Amino acid sequence: MAPLLVGGALALSALVAVADDFQGATHLMPFDEETINYSKQKDTGPIAQLQAKIDRGELKMNYGEKFGYLSSLLEALEVSTNSQMLVFSKTSFQRERIAPRTPRAVFFNDDVYIGFVQGSPLLEISSVDPKLGGVFYTLEQTKTDKPRFVRTDQCLECHASAKTMGVPGHLVRSFATDENGVVDMTTGTSLVNHRTPIEERWGGWFVTGDAGKQPHRGNLFGKSAFARHEKEPGFLGNQTDLKKFFDVSEYLSGNSDIVALMVMEHQSHMHNFLTRLNYESTIALQQYGHTRYLKNIVEAFVRYLLFVEEAPFASPIRGNSGFAAEFAKLGPRDEKGRSLRDFDLHTRLFKYPCSYLIYTDAFDQLPAKLKERIYDRLLEVLSGEDTSAAYAKLSPESRTAIREILGATKKDLPSNWRD
Ligand code: HEC
């Protein structure tokens, strides 16, 4: 952890000199100093809770011959098999085991991500802890009575950098690779989120479903595939079966659903943003007793929350794993049946563009003073009082619908929302 420490002077400048476009200001936060104390703080998130259940004997995990604890873990954490996404670039921790013939599978829900690598002695887990942000664990793939999740801060070597907004967090990248999944660092983007143009996405990933005429870099590896993609932008773009690339029977699902990928890309950056806001405001409150210096970050956050800089779709998008239907079903819904989880998928990801992560513990447990500022800004935008160019993309109908949905489903709204 030592190399990650950042001096106090730098930390202070981080609070004062926040760039206009916060997405660019991603220097490492001093998260191992006193105020946040990341590595010494106890985790309380989904994995800590699951471990407690196992330890109390309330939950038994089943070990399967082929996938070890994977199925049981997904079930215990209520993560759908249909959320599976497959990445073949050698970009992560177990790179030597990962290739186009043996991609790594990643599954997720609102607060946990699980990585499965064929033949690996362990499962990789990243989780969203409402206080700490991204917390990382491994689970050994050997049969025992009481499996133990091991919190592993070494993962921060990659999972805490400018690419995760300078906090312990989640990574999504897109690079061209050769036949073996080795990346060409000159040809891609190391921070993918809902703002990333779709034609730049999914280098190093398999993609299933339908992207229509929309070109992207999924399912491509090796020079000749990229050369053909240059001439024929739709090449390998729309796949519903990955059998021709690798043995799909080695996986829980044969898919790497395009909608799951897009949701995860929105969400992973949102998680990092929430952690950054949480750290920034916790430190600011301790140092100054207020969060007024955080105006620009709050503004950037509200823009991200409301998808106002989302990359436009050139074609409608359709998944093929059933992920979208399951995801939308989770709600909550207002009395007209509307939910922030309802998809659009024609011109944008969601029908009512305000992130569903507003319902999670990571949002709810932000320091109260900061949450107040976010709610104030949100109300200004959604009520139409804010007419600035930054939110021009958000139609009056969308603003009203989102305000009504939140009014009916979000418990802790301040009283000015009720008027
Ligand atoms: C060498 C750099 C590196 C290290 C070390 C690393 N990761 Fe990652 N990890 C990545 C990259 C890059 C991604 C994005 C997906 C990809 O490219 O494979 C990722 C993605 C993930 C994901 C998917 C969701 C997310 O949080 O981004 C999980 C889960 C994960 N890693 C767990 C771990 C765990 C647990 C450890 C430590 C045991 C770890 N990683 C160590 C590079 C790394």
**Rounded to the nearest whole angstrom, what is the distance from the C-alpha of residue 281 to the centroid of ligand 1?**
26
Which residue type is seen at 34? E
Atom of ligand 1 nearest to the CA of 137: 35
pLDDT of 356 higher than 80: yes
Looking at ligand 1, which residue's alpha carbon is closest to its atom 23? 113
- Report the alpha-carbon distance of residue 357 to residue 193 in Å, rounded: 15
Quick: pLDDT tens for 136-145: 999 999 999 9
Quick: pLDDT tens for 167-179: 999 999 999 999 9
State the pLDDT at residue 313. Answer: 96
Give the residues surrounding ligand 1 with Cβ less than 6 Å away: 87, 89, 91-93, 104, 106, 113-115, 124-126, 136-138, 152, 155, 157-159, 170-173, 268
Q: Using CA atoms of 398, 403, 409, 414 in order, give the dihedral in degrees to the nearest 10.
A: 160
- Report the alpha-carbon distance of residue 383 to residue 374 in Å, rounded: 14
Quick: pLDDT tens for 366-402: 999 999 999 999 999 999 999 999 999 999 999 999 9
Atom of ligand 1 nearest to the CA of 106: 23
**Rounded to the nearest whole angstrom, what is the distance from the C-alpha of residue 214 to the centroid of ligand 1?**
28
CB 141 within 8 A of CB 116: no
Mean pLDDT value of segment 26-40 = 87
* C-alpha distance across the termini of the chain, in Å: 49
State the pLDDT at residue 46. Answer: 96
CB 325 within 8 A of CB 315: no
Q: How far is CA 137 from the centre of its chain?
A: 17
**Rounded to the nearest whole angstrom, what is the distance from the C-alpha of residue 124 to the centroid of ligand 1?**
8
Quick: pLDDT tens for 206-227: 999 999 999 999 999 999 999 9
pLDDT of 235 higher than 60: yes
Contacts of 156 by beta carbon, 8 Å cutoff, 6+ apart: 1, 4, 136, 168
CB 167 within 8 A of CB 195: no
- Report the alpha-carbon distance of residue 264 to residue 236 in Å, rounded: 22
Q: How far is CA 398 from the centre of its chain?
A: 24
pTM metric for this prediction? 0.94
- Report the alpha-carbon distance of residue 89 to residue 77 in Å, rounded: 27
